[in-house]
Amino acid sequence: MESPDTLSQVMARLRQQGYTDDLNRHADNPLWLDPEAYRIDTAYRFEGPTNPDDESILYALSSVKYGSKGVLVNGYGLAADAVTAAIEAKLTRWPAT
Protein backbone atom coordinates (compact mmCIF):
# COMPACT_ATOMS: atom_id res chain seq x y z
CA MET A 1 0.00 0.00 0.00
CA GLU A 2 1.39 3.37 -1.01
CA SER A 3 1.40 6.57 1.04
CA PRO A 4 -0.30 9.25 -1.11
CA ASP A 5 -1.15 12.92 -0.84
CA THR A 6 -4.92 13.42 -0.80
CA LEU A 7 -7.74 11.19 -2.02
CA SER A 8 -8.65 13.59 -4.83
CA GLN A 9 -5.02 13.92 -5.97
CA VAL A 10 -4.57 10.17 -6.14
CA MET A 11 -7.87 9.72 -7.97
CA ALA A 12 -6.76 12.31 -10.55
CA ARG A 13 -3.43 10.53 -11.00
CA LEU A 14 -5.18 7.16 -11.40
CA ARG A 15 -7.56 8.64 -14.01
CA GLN A 16 -4.48 9.65 -16.02
CA GLN A 17 -3.33 6.03 -15.78
CA GLY A 18 -6.61 4.77 -17.23
CA TYR A 19 -8.57 4.01 -14.04
CA THR A 20 -11.64 5.87 -15.25
CA ASP A 21 -14.56 3.66 -14.13
CA ASP A 22 -16.37 4.55 -10.91
CA LEU A 23 -16.75 1.11 -9.31
CA ASN A 24 -18.63 2.30 -6.24
CA ARG A 25 -22.16 0.97 -5.81
CA HIS A 26 -24.25 1.11 -8.99
CA ALA A 27 -27.01 -1.19 -10.14
CA ASP A 28 -25.38 -1.95 -13.50
CA ASN A 29 -21.81 -2.24 -12.19
CA PRO A 30 -20.18 -5.63 -12.95
CA LEU A 31 -17.96 -5.36 -9.86
CA TRP A 32 -21.00 -5.80 -7.64
CA LEU A 33 -22.22 -8.81 -9.63
CA ASP A 34 -18.88 -10.52 -10.30
CA PRO A 35 -16.20 -9.25 -7.85
CA GLU A 36 -13.97 -12.27 -8.45
CA ALA A 37 -13.35 -10.92 -11.98
CA TYR A 38 -11.50 -7.92 -10.54
CA ARG A 39 -8.04 -7.63 -9.06
CA ILE A 40 -6.54 -5.00 -6.80
CA ASP A 41 -3.67 -3.36 -8.67
CA THR A 42 -2.89 -0.82 -5.95
CA ALA A 43 -4.40 0.29 -2.66
CA TYR A 44 -4.01 3.62 -0.88
CA ARG A 45 -4.93 4.27 2.72
CA PHE A 46 -5.79 7.76 3.91
CA GLU A 47 -5.81 8.83 7.54
CA GLY A 48 -7.62 11.88 8.85
CA PRO A 49 -5.29 14.39 10.49
CA THR A 50 -7.29 14.61 13.71
CA ASN A 51 -10.17 12.16 13.53
CA PRO A 52 -9.80 8.38 13.03
CA ASP A 53 -13.32 8.38 11.53
CA ASP A 54 -11.83 10.20 8.51
CA GLU A 55 -9.85 7.14 7.45
CA SER A 56 -10.53 5.68 4.01
CA ILE A 57 -9.06 3.26 1.51
CA LEU A 58 -8.93 3.63 -2.27
CA TYR A 59 -8.48 0.63 -4.53
CA ALA A 60 -7.28 0.80 -8.13
CA LEU A 61 -9.00 -2.21 -9.72
CA SER A 62 -8.85 -3.88 -13.10
CA SER A 63 -10.72 -6.67 -14.84
CA VAL A 64 -9.56 -8.43 -17.98
CA LYS A 65 -12.98 -10.09 -18.28
CA TYR A 66 -14.82 -6.74 -18.40
CA GLY A 67 -12.04 -4.65 -19.94
CA SER A 68 -12.40 -2.30 -17.01
CA LYS A 69 -10.06 -0.19 -14.90
CA GLY A 70 -11.51 1.90 -12.11
CA VAL A 71 -11.54 2.91 -8.48
CA LEU A 72 -13.41 1.78 -5.39
CA VAL A 73 -13.42 3.82 -2.17
CA ASN A 74 -14.45 2.68 1.29
CA GLY A 75 -14.14 3.89 4.84
CA TYR A 76 -11.53 2.16 6.95
CA GLY A 77 -12.11 0.46 10.29
CA LEU A 78 -15.34 1.54 11.97
CA ALA A 79 -16.17 3.86 9.07
CA ALA A 80 -16.19 0.97 6.57
CA ASP A 81 -19.38 0.22 4.66
CA ALA A 82 -20.26 -3.43 5.31
CA VAL A 83 -21.50 -4.12 1.77
CA THR A 84 -18.36 -2.63 0.20
CA ALA A 85 -16.22 -4.56 2.69
CA ALA A 86 -17.89 -7.81 1.57
CA ILE A 87 -16.98 -6.99 -2.04
CA GLU A 88 -13.40 -6.14 -0.99
CA ALA A 89 -13.03 -9.56 0.60
CA LYS A 90 -13.75 -11.22 -2.77
CA LEU A 91 -11.22 -9.20 -4.78
CA THR A 92 -7.99 -10.78 -5.98
CA ARG A 93 -4.80 -9.25 -4.64
CA TRP A 94 -2.15 -8.44 -7.25
CA PRO A 95 0.23 -9.96 -7.54
CA ALA A 96 -1.80 -13.00 -6.64
CA THR A 97 -0.53 -14.85 -3.57
Asked if the model's pLDDT at residue 96 lies above 80, the reply is: no
| pLDDT higher than threshold 90 for residue 22 | yes
Q: Average pLDDT for residues 5-28, to the nearest whole number? A: 90
Question: What's the rounded mean pLDDT across residues 23-44?
Answer: 89
Residues 41-76 pLDDT 10s: 999 988 866 565 568 899 999 999 999 999 999 988
CB atoms within 10 A of CB 56: 18
CA distance 14 to 57: 14
Is the pLDDT at 97 greater than 50? The verdict is: no
Alpha helix positions (H), the chain: 7-16, 30-33, 82-90
